[in-house]
Amino acid sequence: MMSYAAGVLLLVVLSIASISDGRNIIKLPSEALEISGADEDSIGTRWAVLLAGSSGYWNYRHQADVCHAYQLLKKGGLKEENIVVFMYDDIAYDTENPRPGVLINNPHGADVYKGVPKDYVGDDVTVNNFLAVILGNRTALTGGSGKVVDSGPDDHIFIFYSDHGSPGVLGMPTRPYLYADDLIDALKKKHASGTYKHLVFYLEACESGSVFEGLLPEGMNIYATTASNAEESSWATYCPGDDLSPPPEYETCLGDLYSVAWMEDSDIHNLRTETLKQQYQLVKKRTSNDNSYYGSHVMQYGDLELSLEQLFLYMGSNPANDNFTFVDDNSLRPSSKAINQRDADLLHFWDKFLKAPEGSARKFEAQKQLAEAMAHRTHVDSSMKLIGKLLFGIEKGPEVLKTIRPAGKPLVDDWSCLKSLVRTFEQHCGSLSQYGIKHTRAIANICNAGIGRDQMAEAAAQACVSFPSNSWSSLHRGFNPNRKEATAIAHPAANYDEAKLAEESGAGAGDSMATELPTRAETVTATNNNATSEDLDPPPPSGEVANGNDRSLKSSPSTSQQLAEPGRGFSIRFQT
């Protein structure tokens, strides 16, 4: 009896001490529910829509992100019938995958692919189907399982989208891509229908802040966070060469920094007590890498008061985490140096090239893939630069294309103009692709300057007499459906010095990029979020690899010597 009384007294003392310290200690599962301020009967049905918007093994991480999210929600108690999954589903059994039928989202992670429903896969992963699912509109669907968010006024909806992006645009493995105005219009329709109580949107993409900046109004009971602000790239993580690198047989990044941050936080914490705001703050810190170069600025939009709600309202709660501890200085594991999302494909091709046996078909394939990707980048960058100078002059062109609007203003005034000019560019210059979509800000600025389709077509025709004949520039990778390859259109010469413009832009208007590797080794350095394939440095001395303060992709001296020989390829330094 005395020992029992002493135990009770000890608990009381500890409770008082924790309260006076401003902290809580371990709670019982029954107490956790009380703290959350809600019970299962009062929150309606939880719904989730998960979308990976890319394809190709070099984009492994997006599907791994989405599969991880599915496993997290299932453990949290969401029913499979209430989780809608979009993914191209070409990664798990890709011949490049060292573990067929398995996807992992961190170097030591378990399989996240098993059991994930294939609601919308392959060519059924479309903008139309995604928006129809959100709106609960089965009649608008084309293919897929037919599953939609059939929600009611008391329900909570969670949407997670992981992919490439650009100012005002989100990628898709099919075409067209998703423009911000179309997404916002769908969310407004969902709100007007009165078929949800609160909606949370987590968005992983480059320039993802631009999707909501100046577009998502308050008062719709929507809270959104994004991996980056409206001006910067988001970052891939768990990449070859990282401090936390994948197993050596993997030649690709396993996750995205923002995505793994929120999921790894959710995996270990009691979501009945952790709020959206607390997770936002933790994820913001990890994704910025303590404001280092290797990260981005996580943003929040919409009705920010919703951030005070508990995560379990949207994600459920894993019973294994019900015995929890509040820790004031709770922080996620420190991140390794990440890779700019737009350079992750180059890293894959380069790592594949380094690891392939000399003289093998695999080494030749990797070399060709890298050369084609670089040719496409150079073509898109130089073409856009030349178009700007044709439209606005040599001096003013670069300034107009790089203009960034003040915070709070949407990317473009006329979204129809943006879509039209993107289509016009692709008709004359080939696909923008997952890399080239970074130029949507430049095209938006052309619209904002009052340039119409005819003027854009004339400039694009002069800038792009031809484009690389490889899959990256192929029109099937473009934004818009039903495109036709443009035939050469004769235009009277404008008042410009073509030779000077070609010199300024770094490529002649009629240059056609070669698809083989250059005749000397070049060093391609991505020095910041705006770096492009035009930024070529001299090769390192023979027998040396690129190094310095940046994280280099290093090889043996013999390999570096081979790469420095004529025709052997690139020595690539990623200053991510």
Amino acid identity of 250?
Y
| Chain mean position to CA 354 | 26
* Residue 497 CA neighbour count, 13 Å, CB half: 6
Distance separating alpha carbons of residues 70 and 89, to the nearest angstrom: 14
Distance separating alpha carbons of residues 233 and 53, to the nearest angstrom: 16
Which residues, at least 6 apart from 442, have a Cβ–Cβ distance to it below 8 Å?
A: 384, 388, 401, 402
DSSP for residue 48 = E
Q: Which entry of 206, 417, 429, 464 is annotated as an active-site residue? A: 206
| Token pair of 422 as six digits | 């993107």
- Reduce the DSSP state of residue 84 to 3 states and report it: strand
> Rounded to the nearest 5°, which phi and psi values hold at 61?
-60, -35
Q: Which helix (H) or strand (E) holds 49?
A: strand 46-52
- Reduce the DSSP state of residue 568 to 3 states and report it: coil
Helix axis angle for 361-392 and 440-448, nearest 10°, is 10
Distance separating alpha carbons of residues 312 and 46, to the nearest angstrom: 9
Q: Is the peptide bond before 539 cis (omega within 30 degrees of 0)?
A: no
How many other β-carbons are positioned within 10 Å of the β-carbon of residue 326?
A: 18
Q: Which helix (H) or strand (E) holds 162?
A: strand 156-162
Amino acid identity of 403?
T
Burial 171-186 (b: 16+ CB within 10 A, else e): bbbbbbbbbbbbbbeb
- Reduce the DSSP state of residue 90 to 3 states and report it: coil
Contact 29, 36 (CB under 8 A): no
206 is catalytic: yes
Which residues, at least 6 apart from 230, have a Cβ–Cβ distance to it below 8 Å?
A: 167, 207, 209, 210, 213, 299, 404, 407, 411
How many other β-carbons are positioned within 10 Å of the β-carbon of residue 456?
A: 24
164 is catalytic: yes
Contact 572, 374 (CB under 8 A): no
Q: Which entry of 68, 156, 164, 439 is annotated as an active-site residue? A: 164
Amino acid identity of 180?
A
Residue with tokens 């608008």: 140
Residues carrying an active site annotation: 164, 206
